[in-house]
Structure 1
């Protein structure tokens, strides 16, 4: 994948099959504006097309993961027309959906606070690991707004019951609460964060590339509540196709031969 080492306001680095996307507006707590939304969306779309990328780590520079919307950006949108605000919201929706449906496993490295859209990014990632000091909030209702664009992903992560509370109250909650309600998968000390992220990356790299990338689509389809007969048929089609695929054949052969599959050696 040919990427610039620095795409302002986003830093993109690659080591082997792993790409790290770092929100890089530390003085503004990595807050969203149109530029960051466009840069992150473009990077994710490029990654989606690159078959050699196997894992994506999303992180933030400085003290915060992402403080949500940039105040200056919000000020500008407050004076914009309803149509302009709709276009702006659709751009954010495109970003969230692109991240959520990215055909690569994603890991959120949450080293600091995440608010509003920052919570949305965490919810869209397949795995989220944070530090005890991290704070979270869906604070839009304080402004007379709601986290509408990110709501499908946050509700999927934390459930309807929890979402009703946090969407309405705009309370700030800690990492322990984020872990309890399902926004984070793991909370580790700050000095253990990188090791915890790398451990998850290592597990993902040992999985079959197609299988790991397809896992989220399987979960989404099962969770959608489609007709059970159709679901059973679709799942049978999926596992049959995987078993006879090159990757499935290699994985089964490696297991039977008691050796590591080829992709685990990459």
Structure 2
């Protein structure tokens, strides 16, 4: 069986590539299995500091494979496996960057929104097309809604309208939209910046960003003060301060 998702680790960057162009990189059962397996492998690999989610072909990901879901019962729907993929990306202690060179639809937009940073080619397009085929963008809403402006979420979820990368930046779905010939350079720029961060500090910062805020400001300050003091006194913080004083790169920065 031909592999539909590939993993390559080089210079601290784990690139996971969706490679099912004939199926518009739809979330088929095989692609889902391979994607979650490669994500878990990259997370377990200490040499992989940053994960990049990329694709071959014209389409980033067209969403669920409708050929597989048509006629299947509730318990047999592939969408039941998607939460594990989105959760793994969202909760990854390593930063995840989406490289979007073509259209993303439905579940494909869910993948983009689960990543920490998303970079798209200016000619890439997006749509929550679910309502137009009689279904609800329910599962992906868990990762999408924290990204989107509320007004935009109502508009785009309810209309299913296609929107471009510039609009995706405006509504918060994408960080950067660049011409197609500059996409790889922009992804590499983000990956390199992320690679400079201390692994433990990056993981803790991601947990902080995801966490629910305490009800009171005093409680939030107390929690954040404890987190900050622990890292200032910790191994990474002390090494980072020594490296700064000695005008050298800290130990966690591995030359590519």
Q: Residue 202 of structure 1 is aligned with which of 171, 192, 210?
A: 192
In the other structure, the counterpart of 2:214 is: 226
Q: In structure 2, how many angstroms separate the alpha carbons of the residues matched to 1:226 and 1:145?
A: 35
Where in structure 2 are there 5+ consecutive unaligned residues?
A: none
CA contact (8 A) 2:90 2:114 kept: yes
In the other structure, the counterpart of 1:3 is: none
Aligned to 1:96, the other structure's residue is in SS state helix
Aligned length: 254
Q: Residue 81 of structure 1 is aligned with which of 73, 96, 107?
A: 73
Q: Residue 131 of structure 2 is aligned with which of 113, 138, 141?
A: 141
CA contact (8 A) 2:64 2:79 kept: no
Spell out, residue by residue over 1:176-210, the C-alpha distance to the aligned partner (whole angstroms, 9 max, x if none).
Answer: 10011111111111111111111111111112122
CA RMSD of aligned residues (A): 1.7
Q: In structure 1, how many angstroms separate the alpha carbons of the residues matched to 2:86 and 2:23?
A: 20
CA contact (8 A) 1:130 1:186 kept: yes
CA contact (8 A) 2:43 2:94 kept: yes
Which protein has the bigger helix share? 1
The answer on 1:237 being equivalent to 2:226 is yes
Comparing 205-214 with 191-200, greater Cα deviation is found at 205-214
Aligned to 1:156, the other structure's residue is in SS state coil
In the other structure, the counterpart of 1:179 is: 169
Q: Tell me the TM-score normalised to structure 2 length.
A: 0.94
Q: In structure 1, how many angstroms separate the alpha carbons of the residues matched to 2:253 and 2:46?
A: 16
Comparing 115-124 with 63-72, greater Cα deviation is found at 63-72
Q: In structure 2, how many angstroms separate the alpha carbons of the residues matched to 1:227 and 1:46?
A: 37
Q: In structure 2, how many angstroms separate the alpha carbons of the residues matched to 1:213 and 1:43?
A: 19
The answer on 1:65 being equivalent to 2:53 is no
* Dislocated runs of 4+, deviation >6 Å: none
Structure 1 residue 7: Cα displacement: 7.7
Relative contact order higher in (CA < 8 Å, ≥ 6 apart): 2
Q: Tell me the TM-score normalised to structure 1 length.
A: 0.90
In the other structure, the counterpart of 1:261 is: 250
Matches within 5 A, 1:48-127: 48-75=43-70, 79-85=71-77, 88-127=78-117
Spell out, residue by residue over 1:210-244, the C-alpha distance to the aligned partner (whole angstroms, 9 max, x if none).
Answer: 222332211111xx233334432321221122112
Where in structure 1 are there 5+ consecutive unaligned residues?
A: 1-5
